[in-house]
């Protein structure tokens, strides 16, 4: 009887370890850095930005929520829950760990703590209408915001370690030089050169890229050799390579710029079967993460949204 008992224990132990082994193999097989990162149903995303480490943030047009997800696992959570209004373009400052959020039709710029989601500050960039504060880029000197309905940028100057200014310090920068305001949506995506001396913006309606002096607003049309950029939306700059998300075309144009950012050549076009009106993208390593706004799909509380990883 005792012998049978020990045989039973031995068999049970083997089965347990076999189960553990099977579980471990399943865990190891789970994909790291998944190609699709799901967002909450009904979220209506538009902007994305990466933060410290393998983390990405997305903003909601529906209610201003901010979603945070791990690029490594694809899992995430609501960081800022429905404060109201819109969250459009997102910017990140690694010095302060602040998220900068374009407020769309609200005309605002809002700042949150990227770890806790705590509200830090809000700036009323303009009271004029119509207004659509669309995108933002953060440099060492300032956060710059575009307005798709007015030929101007807004500068929120930043102090040491990215400290925030008083509301009275916010500046409006009129766009001049070659800049042409057309009917409909205009200034959209925005990036900055590594040294912060120049900004690059895309005019969606004009299908044109501009190099902009952030001190004066003087704009120079970037010579693309006759290439136009219809549906130009979010921008990503890596060295002298500019990625232009073309939302309704479901593609990302890859443009190699010259050293002075005055001219560029279209060298590639990134497409993916998972694209569904991508609006903006963020960079992590050798990957781009483009968010699907799905503007051609009527939004409902059950509409699915996601972020798509592609090689760059």
Q: What is the CATH number of the domain that holds 95?
A: 2.130.10.10
CB atoms within 10 A of CB 6: 9
Q: Measure the CA–CA gap between 108 and 177, rounded to whole angstroms.
A: 26
Given the DSSP bridges, would you call strands 171-174 and 152-157 parallel, antiparallel or unpaired?
antiparallel
- Cα 121 to chain centroid distance, Å, stands at 20
pLDDT of residue 9: 37
Are residue 40 and residue 23 in the same domain, yes or no? no
Rg (CA), the chain: 23
pLDDT of residue 15: 37
pLDDT of residue 221: 98
pLDDT of residue 12: 42
Strand, coil or helix: 255 = strand
CB atoms within 10 A of CB 184: 10
Are residue 24 and residue 53 in the same domain, yes or no? no
pLDDT of residue 29: 53
Q: Measure the CA–CA gap between 106 and 138, rounded to whole angstroms.
A: 20
Domain count, the chain: 2
Per residue in 21-74, pLDDT (tens digit) is 333 344 445 579 999 999 999 999 999 999 999 999 999 999 999 999 999 999
Across the range 147-169, mean pLDDT stands at 98
Are residue 138 and residue 19 in the same domain, yes or no? no
Are residue 46 and residue 24 in the same domain, yes or no? no
Are residue 42 and residue 73 in the same domain, yes or no? yes
**The pLDDT of residue 217 is above 50:** yes
Angle, CA of 227, 244 and 126, to the nearest 5° = 110
pLDDT of residue 19: 42
Q: What global pTM score does this model have?
A: 0.90
pLDDT of residue 236: 98
The band of 249, judged by pLDDT with boundaries at 50, 70 and 90, is: very high
Answer whether 57's CB lies under 8 Å from 65's CB: no
**The pLDDT of residue 186 is above 90:** yes
Are residue 9 and residue 96 in the same domain, yes or no? no
The band of 279, judged by pLDDT with boundaries at 50, 70 and 90, is: very high
Q: Measure the CA–CA gap between 279 and 251, rounded to whole angstroms.
A: 10
Strand partners, 50: 56
Q: Match 């305001």 to its residue by tokens.
A: 181
Are residue 183 and residue 299 in the same domain, yes or no? yes
Domain extent, residue 210, equals 32-311
CB atoms within 10 A of CB 249: 18
pLDDT of residue 31: 74
Are residue 14 and residue 129 in the same domain, yes or no? no
Percent of the chain surpassing pLDDT 70: 90
Are residue 121 and residue 264 in the same domain, yes or no? yes
CA-nearest of 45, 240, 212, 222 to 144 is 212
Percent of the chain surpassing pLDDT 90: 90
Alpha helices in the chain (DSSP H): 2-29
Start-to-end CA span in the chain (Å): 67
CA-nearest of 103, 110, 102, 114 to 51 is 114
**The pLDDT of residue 165 is above 90:** yes
Are residue 137 and residue 193 in the same domain, yes or no? yes
Instruction: Choose the weakest-confidence range: 11-15, 202-206, 211-215.
Output: 11-15
Q: Measure the CA–CA gap between 243 and 252, rounded to whole angstroms.
A: 6
Answer whether 198's CB lies under 8 Å from 211's CB: yes
Q: Measure the CA–CA gap between 111 and 164, rounded to whole angstroms.
A: 9
Are residue 1 and residue 85 in the same domain, yes or no? no
Instruction: Choose the weakest-confidence range: 24-33, 70-79, 135-144, 277-286.
Output: 24-33
Are residue 103 and residue 237 in the same domain, yes or no? yes
Across the range 203-219, mean pLDDT stands at 98
Angle, CA of 61, 67 and 72, to the nearest 5° = 135
Strand partners, 141: none
């Amino acid at each position: 009887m005792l012998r049978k008992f020990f045989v039973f224990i031995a068999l049970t132990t083997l089965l347990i370890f076999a189960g553990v082994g099977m579980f471990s193999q399943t865990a190891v097989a789970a994909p790291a850095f998944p190609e699709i990162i799901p967002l909450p149903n009904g979220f209506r995303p538009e902007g994305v930005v990466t933060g410290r480490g393998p983390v990405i943030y997305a903003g909601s047009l529906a209610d201003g929520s901010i979603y945070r997800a791990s690029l490594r696992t694809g899992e995430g959570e609501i960081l800022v829950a429905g404060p109201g209004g819109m969250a459009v373009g997102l910017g990140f400052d690694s010095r302060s760990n602040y998220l900068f959020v374009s407020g769309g039709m609200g005309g605002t710029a809002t700042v949150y703590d990227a770890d806790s989601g705590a509200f830090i500050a809000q700036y009323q960039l303009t009271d004029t209408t119509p207004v659509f504060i669309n995108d933002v880029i953060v440099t060492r000197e300032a956060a710059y915001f575009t307005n798709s309905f007015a030929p101007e940028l807004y500068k929120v100057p930043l102090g040491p370690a990215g400290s925030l200014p008083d509301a009275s310090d916010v500046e409006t920068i009129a766009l001049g030089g070659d800049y042409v305001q057309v009917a409909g949506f205009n200034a959209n995506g925005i990036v900055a050169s590594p040294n912060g001396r120049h900004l690059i913006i895309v005019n969606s309606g004009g299908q044109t890229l501009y190099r902009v002096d952030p001190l004066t607003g003087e704009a120079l049309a970037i010579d693309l050799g006759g290439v136009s950029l219809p549906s130009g939306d979010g921008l990503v700059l890596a060295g002298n390579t500019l990625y232009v998300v073309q939302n309704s075309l479901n593609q990302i144009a890859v443009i190699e710029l010259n050293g002075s950012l005055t001219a560029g050549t279209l060298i590639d076009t990134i497409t993916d079967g998972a694209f569904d009106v991508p609006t903006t993208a963020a960079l992590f390593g050798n990957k781009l993460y483009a968010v699907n706004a799905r503007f051609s799909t009527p939004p409902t509380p059950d509409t699915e949204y996601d972020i798509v990883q592609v090689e760059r």
